[in-house]
Amino acid sequence: MEDSNKRRDFIKKTAVAVSSMLLAPTLSSANSFFSGSPNNKVAVGFMGVNGRGTFLAKSFAALPNAEVAFICDVDANVLARTQDTIEKLTGKRPKGFTDVRKMLEVKEMDAMVIAAPDHWHAPAAILGLQAGKHVYVEKPCSHNPREGELLVQATAKYNRMVQMGSQRRTFSNVKQMIKSIHEGIIGRTYFARAWYTNNRKTIGHGKLIAPPAELNYDLWQGPAPRTAFRSNVLHYNWHWFWNWGTGESLNNGTHELDVIRWGLGVDYPTEVVSSGGRFHFQDDWETPDTQTITYKFANNTACTWEGRSCNNFKSEGSERGVVFYGDKGTIVYNGGNSYKVYDSENKLKLEVNDSTPYDGTNTVSPLAALEGAHMLNFIESIRGNEKLNAPILEGHKSTLLPQLGNISYRVGRQLKCDPANGHILNDKDAMKLWSREYEKGWEVKV
């Protein structure tokens, strides 16, 4: 009875949050990509279900037209635990897999959700498209810029939908804020500043040890060049190693930079420069714990992003967010679903609030109660009732911004970019980081 009550409460809360977030749906003129399972639900498979992946599986399970039918994870303990969780929520146990390629062979699966480490995002998404599945991929959509380009190509080639987990694209108040910016509520918006803060601890110095028995480490590495197992990498610290992760700028900065790009009405930058370092601790962490990235765009606008992984002093009263600056005022966005508009005299002109609990430092979901709307948009787009709010071309453009920042940081100089596609101009060393090396036999192909 207790499990049944928990299930009903979870589904009720998620359904209420979703309905409160969605505006009136816009029916797609395109034909539905959904053939329909026997129970008329979109059958979804999940890849990578530790932490964020478990949250996503639970959230999709609460949607009215989705079924969490398949689970894939390379850790047997994580796999079994998530199967148990979904079975308690829905009364039906998802079928389990260790190898995502085997899961993709199941014809009854309509879509896949990817929450594996970053080095798997684009390769798995492309495998999913080739298998005829629609894809919901967590940010960042790729480990490197070339993978993002290949994912965009694969989406068109295989005629399936890919949604990136840029959930703010579905938040009602954020959509209203962007619309107001485009309508000139603060005049011409020409600059934006974003930030992310946290209080992450040291990861220490790992030891080379045998992988745990429950982990298929070869499949965990997948397309990445092989390295020996180290004790301080799994299940989260891979974010801070270049071989698998992409640092804080893509782990979190992608969200705010997506909002900035949306608000400024820009695609690719003309100039990028970044600086920072691993300052707080001396350990195995490779990516910067403190970083600034500055961008210029062809429409005479610019922006900055600041990441502080190990100092959580708030800016504008929030752990993360964006400030838009215009010639007639300013907008302060707290990273959630609320914002304030100030006039040119810095007087509060408009305040839009959302009472949903918000924790900007939560590594699983800062706004758990609101994210279901973004997932529902994916499901209903598959069913032919809506259009994707964060299609992969937009996801690639927003992912590319912090990727360029990391490339600038790693080569130690400013980058000049082609505003037509973001490619780095006249810098062969920087362009070497546009793509990556793959483990033999795991090369990404479209």
Question: What is the domain partition of the chain in residue ranges?
Answer: 2-169+374-382, 172-204+220-366+392-430
Contact indicator for 405, 290 with CB cutoff of 8 Å: no
| pLDDT of 35 | 57
Read off the tokens for 96. 């389990």
pLDDT tens for each residue of 364-391: 666 667 899 999 999 999 999 999 999 9
7 pLDDT exceeds 70? Answer: no
pLDDT for 3 beyond 90: no
What percent of the chain has pLDDT above 70?
89
> What strand order describes the sheet that includes 348-352?
348-352, 339-343, 329-333, 320-326, 189-197, 301-308, 290-297, 269-277, 415-416
User: According to CATH, what is the number of the domain 2-169+374-382?
Assistant: 3.40.50.720
Residue 243, pLDDT score: 98
Lowest-pLDDT choice from 37-46, 117-126, 140-149 = 37-46
Alpha-carbon distance 18 to 29, whole Å? 23
Q: For residue range 54-95, list pLDDT tens digits in order.
A: 999 999 999 999 999 999 999 999 999 999 999 999 999 999
Give per-residue pLDDT as tens, 185-216: 999 999 999 999 999 999 999 999 999 999 99
- CATH code for residues 172-204+220-366+392-430: 3.30.360.10
Q: Which helix (H) or strand (E) holds 103?
A: helix 100-103
Q: What is the pTM of this model?
A: 0.91
As a whole number of angstroms, the longest Cα–Cα distance in the chain is: 66
What value does the mean pLDDT take over residues 404-433? 98
Q: Among residues 379, 430, 375, which one has the least CA distance to residue 407? A: 430
Whether the Cβ atoms of residue 397 and residue 261 lie closer than 8 Å to each other: yes
Residue 343, pLDDT above cutoff 50 = yes
Per-residue pLDDT at 174: 97
Which range is least confidently modeled, 12-21, 145-154, 184-193?
Answer: 12-21
Q: Is the pLDDT of residue 11 over 80?
A: no
Q: What pLDDT is recorded for position 31?
A: 40
More confident residue, 99 or 2: 99
Q: pLDDT at position 358, please?
A: 64
